[in-house]
Amino acid sequence: MRNALVTGSSGFIGYFVSLALLRAGWRVIGLDSLSDYYDVNLKLNRQSQLCEYAQFSVVNEKLETPQALMTLFKEHRPDVVIHLAAQAGVRHSIDDPRAYLNANLIGTFELLEAARAFPPEHMLLASSSSIFGANRQMPYKEADRVDTQMSFYAATKKATENMAHSYAHLYALPTTMFRFFTVYGPWGRPDMAYFKFTKAILNRAPIDVYNHGKMQRDFTYVDDLVRAIMGLIDVPPDPTSPVPGDSVSPVAPFRTVNIGNASPVSLMDFIAAIETACGQEAIKTFHPIQPGDVPATWADTTLLQTLVGKQHSTPVGEGLQHFVDWYRDFYKA
């Protein structure tokens, strides 16, 4: 039985990745701090479902706690590490940057040090589409320069890519960084726009629409994302054997991979799909763009498909209907 460490296992994406691994017969060690950034009960609900599997074990601890990860690696010797734990949220990073410093930078450093001492077969670490920052050339490609981050959250994600590359080079740690593009779906994060919109629409409350609705996002349904991650587990980077269009480093077993829907959707169309799923129209309040936001994202997923094959892309209307159905059931709305 293969052994995986999933950090952030009680989070939105971590829960679905852990579930996929367990259903595929893996043993999973789930690490999560159960932070109160959003409703802890949602995280506890996810965690309780994972704990129904005999091959799942949970450690509730902060990434940045000294020696916590070193002890965990020494005890469990994971074959694969999927690092999803982070302080999330572009806007919150303006209000509380220290939380991002601690979780995203110090926490990832502790993970890399533990991997250095007890090397896994493959490290897969979450980055973000927000690292593309002020780039205007779209779709975003892995080879694009990423020097103009627009938020401290994005800056910490870029820094984790650099940190991971240095460890991959120095200690021959096969490392894949995946750049997520606006992931949504059931069991999602309450701070995300689609979650807030659904709650407001069902309660007949107004929703805040930024940049007067002139935004586009490459929305990625969570099941599509998880399939991509599962496919990448057994495709570690090798600088001596690049694939066409590869982003593999010339000096390290290190690769970046976009995971998105490869089809941007306008914010107003996204809201319309939520309105359809909810069966009622939103009351919209329009605002200027918020600090740290970018007006558009769009993933080039050519490399992902080269590595793991053609990917299924769930239509936004279908994905949002799944979310609204879950929301109504979970919150009895």
Question: Known catalytic residues?
Answer: 153
Residue 320 CA to residue 184 CA, distance in Å, equals 8
Residue 133 falls in which region: left (phi positive, over 0), alpha (psi -120 to 50) or beta:
left
Instruction: List the beta bridge partners of residue 59.
Output: 31
| Contact predicate 268/197, CB 8 Å | no
Alpha-carbon separation of residue 75 from 5, 122, 171, 174 (angstroms)? 12, 18, 21, 21
Residues 89-92: contacts with CB within 8 Å, 24+ apart?
A: 89/37, 89/153, 89/191, 90/130, 90/150, 90/151, 90/153, 90/154, 90/292, 90/293, 91/151, 91/290, 91/291, 91/292, 91/293, 92/37, 92/153, 92/191
Six-digit token pair at 37? 């950034």
Six-digit token pair at 35? 């932070």
Six-digit token pair at 24? 């595929």
Instruction: List the beta bridge partners of residue 207.
Output: 284
170 phi and psi angles, rounded to 5 deg? -70, -35
> What is the amino acid identity at position 70?
M
Q: Report CA 133 to chain centroid distance, whole Å.
A: 17
Element of type H or E holding 234: none
